[in-house]
Amino acid sequence: MRAMVLERTADVTTRPLRLVDSPAPEPGAGEILVRVRVCGVCRTDLHVIEGELPSRKLPLVPGHQVVGVVEALGPRAGRFARGARVGIAWLRHACGVCEFCRTGRENLCKSSLYTGYHADGGYAEYAVVPEAFAYAIPDTFCDTEAAPLLCAGIIGYRALALAEVPPGGTLALYGFGSSAHIVLQIALRRGHRVLVATRGASHQRLALSMGAAWAGEATQPLPEPAHSAIVFAPAGEIVPAALRSLTPGGTCALAGITMTPTPPLDYESCLFHEKKLRSVESNTRADGEGLLREAAAAGVRPHTTSFALEEANQALARLKSDRIDGSAVLVI
């Protein structure tokens, strides 16, 4: 099979992924082999490839927003039929027995493993995943629309839940990449008013065209207080501004897997009045199922830019420099 392989971490502008030919993986017990059709390009891929997340496996095939069809079943696998369309997401293993798994918080499991990080992912023609961690893809989405939902959508969905937006409340989004442009659609469908703070005129235009009530620079004050905020940009310096934008009792959720240092928080303006600050870690499978159901019902349509598999380095470089509106997707 063809695959884009990372042999050592490096800046994506140095084109660290190399196209190789290698044998297709074999599915083990309880696993399925997926013939990959598309794979979304995620900011977490950037963090893995550039070493901002400590390496867990090298060489590595990145990618964890995979849509494809079941090619083969491993021993004792039977959840999906051959030919079924499925998705592979970031979370691929949790122990099932720890206190977190037993209380519906498998995203916090200390034994959790991740696609395109601990195991090879979807920047390839084939990928393997435990069938218990694969998703059935609703027919309403084409392959390229479905791919960004499998991480950007799921993480945004969990962040939206943790942000605790009241009915009819105002939500501020800081950063407007792949995840935020999906959350915007869900939030509007729920009846929320959405304000978008993001750098880049093209991101602001896209936000307004999709129904945001306001879009401007993250350094600008919001035109009105928000009941809740989600910080998608991995920039710690945004956190104080997001907290100051909240009404009393408001909640700010931090959706990134990593973030630059957060400056000191002034208690009076950032945290007093019972404001809440929460982080988001990965997702549960229930989050994934819930996101796919609601996105299908809400008519969510991710904006995508397609690249060929061998153009993965270019796609990542454009993502890093904020030159992707919506989501980037590799078409295998």
- Look at residues 45, 29, 33, 23 and name the one whose alpha carbon lies nearest to residue 117: 45
Burial 164-187 (b: 16+ CB within 10 A, else e): ebeeebbbbbbbbbbbbbbbbbbb
- Look at residues 318, 316, 298 and name the one whose alpha carbon lies nearest to residue 210: 298
Per-residue pLDDT, 218: 85
For 90, the token pair is 């970031």
Query: Which CATH architecture fits 2-150+282-331?
Result: Alpha-Beta Complex (3.90)
CA torsion 191-193-197-201 (nearest 10°) is 90
Q: Is the pTM of this model over 0.85?
A: yes
Q: Which residues of the chain are modeled with pLDDT < 70?
A: none
**CATH 3.40.50.720 occupies which residues in the chain?**
154-279
- What CA–CA distance (Å, rounded) separates 257 from 44? 7
* Residues 68, 37 contacting (CB under 8 angstroms): yes
Per-residue pLDDT, 220: 86
Distances (CA, A) of 68 to 6, 30, 31, 229, 247: 22, 18, 14, 34, 44
- What CA–CA distance (Å, rounded) separates 55 from 38? 24
Helices (H), 21-153: 43-49, 99-102, 143-148
* Residues 116, 92 contacting (CB under 8 angstroms): no
Q: Which residues pair with 39 in a beta bridge?
A: 66, 330
Pairing of strands 113-114, 91-93: antiparallel
**CATH 3.90.180.10 occupies which residues in the chain?**
2-150+282-331
Cα 290 off chain centre by: 15
* Residues 232, 173 contacting (CB under 8 angstroms): yes
- What CA–CA distance (Å, rounded) separates 108 from 94? 9
CATH T-level assignment (fold) for domain 154-279 = Rossmann fold (3.40.50)
